Amino acid sequence: MPQNMLVFAGSSHPALAQKICSQLGLELGRSTIHRFTNQNIKVKLEENVRGADTFVVQTACPPLSDGIIELLILIDALRHASAGRVTAVLPYYPYVRSDKKDEPRISITARLMADLLETAGADRVLTMDLHSPQIHGFFRIPVDHLTATGVLCAHFLERGVSDWVLVAPDAGEVKDAGRYAKRLDIPLAVIDKRRYGDDEQARAIHIIGEVAGKHALVVDDEVATAGTLCETVRILLGHGASTVTAGVVHAVLSGQAPERVRTSPLAELVVTDTVPIPPERSCDKIRVLSVAHLFAQAIERIHDGRSVSALF
Amino acid sequence: MPQNMLVFAGSSHPALAQKICSQLGLELGRSTIHRFTNQNIKVKLEENVRGADTFVVQTACPPLSDGIIELLILIDALRHASAGRVTAVLPYYPYVRSDKKDEPRISITARLMADLLETAGADRVLTMDLHSPQIHGFFRIPVDHLTATGVLCAHFLERGVSDWVLVAPDAGEVKDAGRYAKRLDIPLAVIDKRRYGDDEQARAIHIIGEVAGKHALVVDDEVATAGTLCETVRILLGHGASTVTAGVVHAVLSGQAPERVRTSPLAELVVTDTVPIPPERSCDKIRVLSVAHLFAQAIERIHDGRSVSALF
Amino acid sequence: MPQNMLVFAGSSHPALAQKICSQLGLELGRSTIHRFTNQNIKVKLEENVRGADTFVVQTACPPLSDGIIELLILIDALRHASAGRVTAVLPYYPYVRSDKKDEPRISITARLMADLLETAGADRVLTMDLHSPQIHGFFRIPVDHLTATGVLCAHFLERGVSDWVLVAPDAGEVKDAGRYAKRLDIPLAVIDKRRYGDDEQARAIHIIGEVAGKHALVVDDEVATAGTLCETVRILLGHGASTVTAGVVHAVLSGQAPERVRTSPLAELVVTDTVPIPPERSCDKIRVLSVAHLFAQAIERIHDGRSVSALF
Amino acid sequence: MPQNMLVFAGSSHPALAQKICSQLGLELGRSTIHRFTNQNIKVKLEENVRGADTFVVQTACPPLSDGIIELLILIDALRHASAGRVTAVLPYYPYVRSDKKDEPRISITARLMADLLETAGADRVLTMDLHSPQIHGFFRIPVDHLTATGVLCAHFLERGVSDWVLVAPDAGEVKDAGRYAKRLDIPLAVIDKRRYGDDEQARAIHIIGEVAGKHALVVDDEVATAGTLCETVRILLGHGASTVTAGVVHAVLSGQAPERVRTSPLAELVVTDTVPIPPERSCDKIRVLSVAHLFAQAIERIHDGRSVSALF
Amino acid sequence: MPQNMLVFAGSSHPALAQKICSQLGLELGRSTIHRFTNQNIKVKLEENVRGADTFVVQTACPPLSDGIIELLILIDALRHASAGRVTAVLPYYPYVRSDKKDEPRISITARLMADLLETAGADRVLTMDLHSPQIHGFFRIPVDHLTATGVLCAHFLERGVSDWVLVAPDAGEVKDAGRYAKRLDIPLAVIDKRRYGDDEQARAIHIIGEVAGKHALVVDDEVATAGTLCETVRILLGHGASTVTAGVVHAVLSGQAPERVRTSPLAELVVTDTVPIPPERSCDKIRVLSVAHLFAQAIERIHDGRSVSALF
Amino acid sequence: MPQNMLVFAGSSHPALAQKICSQLGLELGRSTIHRFTNQNIKVKLEENVRGADTFVVQTACPPLSDGIIELLILIDALRHASAGRVTAVLPYYPYVRSDKKDEPRISITARLMADLLETAGADRVLTMDLHSPQIHGFFRIPVDHLTATGVLCAHFLERGVSDWVLVAPDAGEVKDAGRYAKRLDIPLAVIDKRRYGDDEQARAIHIIGEVAGKHALVVDDEVATAGTLCETVRILLGHGASTVTAGVVHAVLSGQAPERVRTSPLAELVVTDTVPIPPERSCDKIRVLSVAHLFAQAIERIHDGRSVSALF
């Protein structure tokens, strides 16, 4: 086991990296990351890492490609600087939804990311709420896979969930919805949406289960443009739900998401801090729960050789 | 592109291999597979394979471990005999359900199988209805992933599905169920089962959606012990379904499955021939649809360098 | 060097694994190995192995393929559970006699086994009396190769070998026979058998050297069906040997071996416990010497970083 | 040799890709590259590539990281779509100047790029004027390395170079300068600049060789911010050069380069089209020579298995 | 299959390479191999090899290390020059006797050689009479393994072998001796030599079998210093053999071998031309049989994709 | 970090290895290297290396190929003997000038050497003054790259450099010359040599900068045949330089170098001891500065996990 622990951070989410280090009682590892006018990124580690147990915190957020390249360069620099072990800490894993070949001649990019990380020199990965648990199998190096389910459920249970119903916005989402419904001990309903042919409008919507007069909760691993989420809110209110609340791990909130969330009749959007939300893209409806303590505990356990599964 | 095509078969499912070859208008590649009294397996290719485009058909069925080892030895023999290309044809992929780490300190064995196949020397894989589409990403070699959905749906559509409902036996199965429901254009219902604590009996069952008075159809990628299937039948009939039919791709039918199917009030179990069913484990209720033509067409297209996705 | 030592066992030979652990003063590492009705094997490590120096004991014996797959899954589970080092302890190496390509288009399966072990994640191998010492070179990972020669010779020397002759049953076996003959300081003789054409019967047998009136000793690395052994006994007695004793490391004893040994005029068959002999396949003539202490000492030395060659 | 040739292009430099295809008499391979609001890039190949000899044209230019990720995804998609061979065509190689470890604990990112390309699935690389010829050795796959020296020299020779002098702006650049001076058959001079301590201003400048009254030519493999170039112009004019012209292969022209070039007394900046120059960053002084024909010829020769070195 | 065949040769054995090419009706591939005064070797291929089916002939003989390095450089040059396939043709494989770890802490150098060849870029190997057939398993690339047994036996049978006996000079050599004895249909005898302790002189020698009055034939895969061979001759003549002839594949004849052979009462030493014998190290007693036709036929068959085993 | 440090040496430069060990206060690791009459090299490690932090000192010098093979065998033996870490210490890196493909169809042999070292089992490399810093990027394992610049400059500064000029003998050498000139704070001059066509004699020589009446210093990373060096001396004296001194890191001194140096009007040749100079090839003009202390300090720092860059 390497002896001293060093946590470095890419430039994607300094607040989270800082929070993790504070919980660990560590200073962030010293490094400088420079971006030249030709957009080349230069990473320099400013302290000796030989034999050290190093962790690199980088989450997937804009500018996304820069973040990935920066991460790979950081890992490469650590390996060639003789780090004893390099753990890539990826609170929100890049390209996590590109995990299957649902059309011919596309890339399973989540798998490509795994390959690139191994090539650059990562010895292990620590991440959270992968879109599908099978992504774990894309790696030949050990992966510790945290979940924010506990943090989100604790939040909802604390405020009380009587008269709530968990609604899966699509047949494809029922599995995760079911997991939350069981943990919160509330009923489950499903929105069954079908398209006919190529006509975007020719669509039938059925609600399977009861939502009328209930507080609907929608959960997901990520919210990107919030288009589906806001449409779900409309459907549920249209079918008599009294309110709609959403619980999501990764607050991607890209494109029109901020405006959509602001103007939607959605009651509240509860998210975690795996992805930074710039103040101008946030609003009062968005509530952020921190998962920094989970990452700090996992890093400590990885370093000490203790089981991480106890955190799940 | 290698020029001559040769299809070899392991000893798992000679009938399917033969059927595929017949459709291709080919003789099976000559090989002898011998099992010594010490259980060592010896494979000898009985014809020259140098530069040939070779395919090895082996499905996952009892004796399972022998079939896997036999497959790996066959591939190794082909590679060292200078085959131009080796495609592992795996109608039912081994350990397909071991695709995630849902408990600590277990193996994602579907991924291990992918690694073993690559190590032995497979250049590509042709398989059908993987339990999750992400398994595709376990491979660094190209994979062609067929589906029997079309064959099964065509069968049900032919007999007529008015007044039918597609029932997902569990929240975790709704995704696939939804896919079939859309294709058959019938409604969807979900059985929401929950356990409380460790008590196997303390369980609540809700039906989300309408099943009373309808013909219920249950679909799945595989049926193993048929325990869940037969319980689903009981629940559905108990909630007023008029009949229950099942459509399943891989007819594993292990353990008590034959007896359970025979004695269950299940109307019919429609399966494919990706897994052989010994006559003594079959019964009148089981109807087998062949997918040999899909494999034959895919092999032909792979050999010719034409797109396989046209078959989906 | 990893700090704590953990010895896990596959289900092939629990008695030997237990004996090794007793000698080491250790409890066996806790794991559960479950075999489903569909013959899938599931391994779960029941204790934390992060950073540990782990050893997996599995010998090649029926059900052979299950044992190999189980071993690969165990190693895979250890690697992904972040074991510090994984040593495969293989008292009898699988497919050890498939070590060359003596016919075209076959697999050198002993080499394939080495590749599979490395792919699954083995960092090193500890084994005993490989059929040929060159198999060592099949591995890119370090191998410690023990021998039971000392244990067997000590046994024969203790009972006295005056008037004994070491007989090689075939020209191909003289090398090993010579090694034993020198160690026991007894003369050597060779049975020179030749076949003519394909006629199994048209065979000439010559004894090169003196056997008449002597106690003949036949040695080998393994005894499988005992067919050759029992024929050798008949030939030697027919040429005037007073008795025939056999010394063999790996007691495979497959097929008709138990009956053959029982009914043969062979005086005694001395073997080791690298392979378990079910009571119903054993008999009074078979004497088992334990090599558990050699494995225990080797494991201890590997763990401590001391030389293992001192045990040879 | 794969039979049909397909040239795909990333979104970095469509004009060059189009020009190359025109010269080859080919349509660009059909693909769609979509960038989601969450900045994920999705590549879909819109035609069958099985067994094809594919080329992917992508140059290093802003947005740089997006271009690299897009390239890796394109290559990954080609490999998994069973392309027969994938050649990465990189007119300007990314991170080409990050080719050594001139400070401790940095990444040799040009080498990392080579590793990432191989991991994604590139079978070979075609590129132009690498900053140092040793970068060739960063690859385990074959590389064809073109040069624009001939195109640039032909241009200068055509307009006449009597009374010209080739000036190396720094000791580190004399090697390449010498190569051009010999080819143009003009004298060589060197600017010897030295810094003292950390003081940016405390600097001594010597001109080694004759420049007064001559037309000075400055050459380089790339021009980025043009800071050094414009300073060189000032020094040379200050030492009596009558005019200063620059010849550069890769027109990166980042940061303040456009303004600097416009306002500098530089007579002309001759570049190639390996990097696109947006109209708003160009000016009358910049003259662009095309190297598309070199890439087209090289692609044709690679496809046909003819020597590419004939193009140098 | 690559289309055009090119045979290159290292500088170890030009006569054999030339002979092989003559039989193939080919000119040797043009290359220049230069050795600088600093002993660096430079290889330049003087013709285009893109996509070609290339063969490199190099045998193990003095200067041995130079020959190995030259071979690796040749293969590397071929790979980076885009050869379609590279087959290393090694008539006498380097370090062939270093095939096991018979002492602790030594290298299995025959295995290391296999790894180096694969690393340099060899796609396959063609060789002859490896010291042990297990060496085949050291390779992950296909190997064709020729034997000169047929050529040697044909020679002896032609001159007549009545009243001959095949003598194995050591227990360790009986296996191969037996193979020749059967093929020639002559009796077998064994020299059983034993050392006691470290005293080189304290040795007992027994002849097992009959040699008196017979023509003794001794065979081996290689003759190096000829020390053992000449001692065997003395022992056999001392035990009454009328003459002693030797048949050996690889005529290494190193150190004092030439003098020993000249002065020994050995009747004849029949060898092949896998290793060149400089005229000054040869003598009248040495008879060389060519195996060039076997290599030529094998190369042709490999190129055409026909089975090579037919040559055994 | 492995605990005990062991330094082994190949047979290339025992004096340097001994000096390094003396500085470290260590005995050389015990090993025997034997060369058989067939030129096979056998390495045996004579002490236990399990888990140890091992270093192998081998420099590139005649017999060069033997030295390389010996090094690879040593590393292979260490790896298979379970060394904890193997660092190849290469004071003068083999084939260091073969670092680019400046002609078609040659090998970048410096890169091949890197691959061979990794294949044999080296975990890291320690070397000095690579011909180009890009060679660092040929390795996927960490490299520590020392320089003798400080040792050479300290020597020249100590004797005084007023009235000296640093002369680059060729445009291609100005970069390194400039580095030394800056460090010594002396002016720079360049010899601009040009050939016309293939005529070796048709050559023009210009001196760019001032040399008349000055003490000229010529530096280089290596001196091989000394042909260029001695010609440079003649040119400089011919252009009025008062004396010429040379400073070179690696004293290869091959071929006619000793005689050339002796008979040249060169004042002094200052070199280091990275390459051994046999007494008969040395002379009074050659002054050797030791760099053993740099290697000793680097080895100590690598072992302790401290930064090596502090030594630059």
For residue D101, the SS3 value is coil
Residues F32 and F110 in one domain: yes
* Per-residue pLDDT tens over the stretch B139-185: 999 999 999 999 999 999 999 999 999 999 988 888 889 999 999 99
For residue A119, give both structure tokens: 């090539």
Residues B263 and B298 in one domain: no
A73 touches chain F (CB under 8 A): no
Catalytic option among F100, F101, F193, F285: F193
Residue B234: what are its φ and ψ, rounded to 5°? -60, -45
Burial class (CB in 10 A: 0-12, 13-18, 19+), F290: middle
Go through B73-96 and write b for each residue having 16 or more CB atoms within 10 A of its CB, e for each that does not. Answer: bbbbbbbbbbbbbbbbbbbbbbbb
Residues B131 and B163 in one domain: no
**Residue C199 confidence (pLDDT):** 63
Q: State the CB neighbour count (10 A cutoff) for residue B102.
A: 10
- The C-alpha of E94 sits at a distance from chain F's nearest C-alpha, in angstroms, of 8
- The C-alpha of A184 sits at a distance from chain F's nearest C-alpha, in angstroms, of 48
Residues B156 and B125 in one domain: no
D51 touches chain B (CB under 8 A): yes
Chain B hits for A187, CB-CB cut-off 8 Å, are: 192, 206
Residue of A nearest to D82 (CA): A105
Range in B214-228, D160-174, D190-204 the model is least confident about:
D190-204
Distance CA B299, CA D78 (A): 20
Interface test with D, best of B1, B5, B134, B300 (most D CBs within 10 A): B1
Chain F hits for C307, CB-CB cut-off 8 Å, are: 48, 50
A37 touches chain D (CB under 8 A): yes
pLDDT at C281 over 80: yes
| Predicted complex ipTM | 0.95
Local confidence band at F204 (pLDDT 50, 70, 90 cut-offs):
confident
Residues D115 and D219 in one domain: no
pLDDT at B21 over 70: yes
Distance CA F180, CA F188 (A): 9
Mean pLDDT of C271-287: 96
* Per-residue pLDDT tens over the stretch D151-167: 999 999 999 999 999 99
C213 touches chain F (CB under 8 A): no
- Distances E299 to B82, E70, E275 between C-alpha atoms, Å: 14, 21, 18
CA nearest A20: which of A298, A252, A248?
A: A298
**Residue B166 confidence (pLDDT):** 96
**Residue A158 confidence (pLDDT):** 96
Residues of chain A numbered 170-189 and touching chain B (CB < 8 Å): 170-172, 174-175, 177-179, 181-182, 187-189
Mean pLDDT by 10 residues, chain E (312 residues): 85 98 97 96 97 97 98 98 97 97 96 98 98 96 97 96 94 88 94 74 82 97 96 96 98 97 97 97 96 98 92 74
Q: Is there an interface between D and C (3+ Cβ pairs < 8 A)?
A: no
Residues C70 and C164 in one domain: no
Mean pLDDT of B275-282: 96
Residues E184 and E267 in one domain: yes
CB-CB under 8 Å, D142 with E81: yes
Residues A110 and A178 in one domain: no
B310 touches chain D (CB under 8 A): no
Q: Kindly give the pairing relationship between strand E41-45 and strand E31-35.
A: antiparallel
**Residue E201 confidence (pLDDT):** 64
Q: Which amino acid type is present at position E88?
A: A
Total of domains in chain E: 2
Chain B hits for A167, CB-CB cut-off 8 Å, are: none
Average pLDDT for chain A: 95
* Per-residue pLDDT tens over the stretch C205-224: 889 899 999 999 999 999 99
Question: Are the C-beta atoms of C87 and C56 separated by less than 8 Å?
Answer: yes
Residues C18 and C49 in one domain: yes
Residues F168 and F142 in one domain: no
Burial class (CB in 10 A: 0-12, 13-18, 19+), D222: buried
CA nearest C303: which of C54, C29, C19, C44?
A: C54
Question: Are the C-beta atoms of F47 and F8 separated by less than 8 Å?
Answer: no
* Per-residue pLDDT tens over the stretch F164-176: 999 999 888 888 8
Range in B81-90, B127-136, C187-196 the model is least confident about:
C187-196
**Residue B269 confidence (pLDDT):** 98
Chain C hits for A302, CB-CB cut-off 8 Å, are: 50, 82
**Residue E171 confidence (pLDDT):** 82
For residue C244, the SS3 value is strand
Chain C hits for F84, CB-CB cut-off 8 Å, are: 1
Chain F hits for D178, CB-CB cut-off 8 Å, are: 170-172, 192
* Per-residue pLDDT tens over the stretch C122-153: 999 999 999 999 999 999 999 999 999 999 99
CB-CB under 8 Å, D143 with E48: no
Distance CA D234, CA D242 (A): 11
Q: Is there an interface between E and A (3+ Cβ pairs < 8 A)?
A: no
**Residue F156 confidence (pLDDT):** 97
* Per-residue pLDDT tens over the stretch C253-274: 999 999 999 999 999 999 999 9
Local confidence band at A311 (pLDDT 50, 70, 90 cut-offs):
confident
Interface test with C, best of F4, F46, F50, F73 (most C CBs within 10 A): F50
pLDDT at C2 over 70: no
**Residue F170 confidence (pLDDT):** 87
* Per-residue pLDDT tens over the stretch F13-38: 999 999 999 999 999 999 999 999 99
Contacts of residue B71, Cβ cutoff 8 Å, sequence gap at least 6 = B10, B56, B58, B88, B117, B120
Compute the C-alpha angle B41/B46/B51, nearest 5°.
Answer: 110
Mean pLDDT of A180-208: 83
In E124-230 the beta strands, taken as DSSP E runs, fall at 124-128, 143-146, 164-168, 188-196, 199-208, 215-223
Question: Are the C-beta atoms of E248 and E219 separated by less than 8 Å?
Answer: yes
CB-CB under 8 Å, D109 with A40: yes
Local confidence band at C200 (pLDDT 50, 70, 90 cut-offs):
low
Average pLDDT for chain C: 94
Q: Kindly give the pairing relationship between strand B188-196 and strand B199-208.
A: antiparallel
Question: Are the C-beta atoms of E238 and E256 separated by less than 8 Å?
Answer: no
pLDDT at D199 over 70: no
Contacts of residue C207, Cβ cutoff 8 Å, sequence gap at least 6 = C189, C190, C191, C192, C235, C236, C239
Compute the C-alpha angle F139/F145/F146, nearest 5°.
Answer: 165
Which CATH number covers residue A76? 3.40.50.2020
* Per-residue pLDDT tens over the stretch B62-73: 999 999 999 999
- The C-alpha of C44 sits at a distance from chain F's nearest C-alpha, in angstroms, of 29
Task: Tell me the percentage of chain C whose pLDDT exceeds 90.
Answer: 90
Local confidence band at B195 (pLDDT 50, 70, 90 cut-offs):
confident
Residues of chain F numbered 135-154 and touching chain E (CB < 8 Å): none
Distance CA F59, CA F251 (A): 12
D44 touches chain B (CB under 8 A): no
* Per-residue pLDDT tens over the stretch A69-84: 999 999 999 999 999 9
Residues D130 and D161 in one domain: no
Distance CA F189, CA F174 (A): 9
CB-CB under 8 Å, A254 with D36: yes
Residues B133 and B163 in one domain: no
pLDDT at B202 over 80: no
Distance CA C175, CA E88 (A): 32
A30 touches chain F (CB under 8 A): no
B224 touches chain C (CB under 8 A): yes
Q: Is there an interface between B and F (3+ Cβ pairs < 8 A)?
A: no
Burial class (CB in 10 A: 0-12, 13-18, 19+), E168: buried
**Residue D171 confidence (pLDDT):** 81
Q: Range of E163's domain? A: 149-289
